Structure 1
Amino acid sequence: MPERPWDSLLSDRDREVIEAAGYDEAGASNWDTRGVGDRPMLLVVDVQRVTVGADVPITEAVEESRIAMGEVAHRALEHLVPFVEFVREQGIPVAHTRVVPPAYDPDDPEVQIVDALAPLDDEPVVDKRYASAFFGTDLVSRLVRADVDTLVVVGDTTSGCLRATVVDAQQFGFKVVVPEECVFDRVDLSHRASLLDMWMKYADVRPTSEVRELLAGES
């Protein structure tokens, strides 16, 4: 099996449990967490200027903004930008979220989505105050009206807003897919452990190349 981002964190006992319980083949035991449905949508979570910051080491980025991720975010953007372009080419709808902290106005340039992923005219932007894109928003209604059955979730942070959104999406009955190179976090341990948790319990976490194949109907 190809190495996964969380492999180096696992003890021999952990590996035995995962294999014995079948998480590696089927995901969660109580619900289906593998595969993609017939009507996917891409949700880009909180890829904003204030959370991305300059392309500098993260230890420098946090000196400008304590929530900026610097080079961590920019390395993920190298995967994210072409993936979003691919999804658009496939005719799959795209939506975005922005977190607007109380200290910021919605029109503040810092809370805008980064230019490289600027929403197209027909791509909705859901503003939120809390971690999950579903909490206190009309996202569920938007997805139901659009007849969406699968959310492909990318963005940040893996352990925070993205994970909360993935968990809620699964609980609302959507299939969830996470391209592992297209998500990022300021702490590498949190990033890897959260990918593991989502893969085992809530989502189909795959390399981005495999997600492309899924969305193109090649597998």
Structure 2
Amino acid sequence: MSEQITARVRGTDVALGPTFAARLVPWLRWGAPLLSAVFLPVTGLYVHRQLWWPWWTALPAAWAAGWVLLALLMLAVLLLTHRTTWWNRESGRVRRGRQWCEAAHVRAVVPDFRPQGVTVLDAGEEGRRLLIPYSGWDDRSYEGIAEFERHVCGAASASRRELLARDRAARKSWQNRALAKRYAMTWREEFEDPHVFLEAFDARRKELARRQR
């Protein structure tokens, strides 16, 4: 059974896109520790020479100091740049920082499920648009937008996982079509199945290899 994906909520507010914590936690958990480890030879050597600590003390101290510094750096960046977009289901107002619009006035939702993508809410009021950066940051970030789209447009909206799977399939199909053209293969409908295409492609390469002998 697949896991049920739910949007992040705060009372009656639904987060459209990532929250502050959703952006920060992955950096604290993975980004800062890994990047601190990359610079560990340099920082560890600096601590060792400056404080004359033994290596088994200097290296953990340098890694911890690097982790804290990188964590504080990202915290400062997010405090300056990140604004969570909230949709209040009772009042119908969507706000991001000082920007806001009424959900009833939104004429179109242009969603973007990519992690670095930007979803656009077109309110149509004198060209007013509300942009939601990093709208596909994770499944729950995008689910809020999908729920808002279902509410505004009244149509079923695919989950981020489904959209990512479709995107991967489309990219794979495009790559296979390019290979088929390169090797003078006539594209057939059954080639949309990557396993079928791979078998035909291998047969075509073997055929060309025999001709070159």
Q: TM-score, normalised by structure 2?
A: 0.25
Could you say which structure has the higher helix fraction?
2
Q: Which has the higher contact order (CA 8 A, sep 6+)?
A: 1
Relative to the length of structure 1, the TM-score reads: 0.25
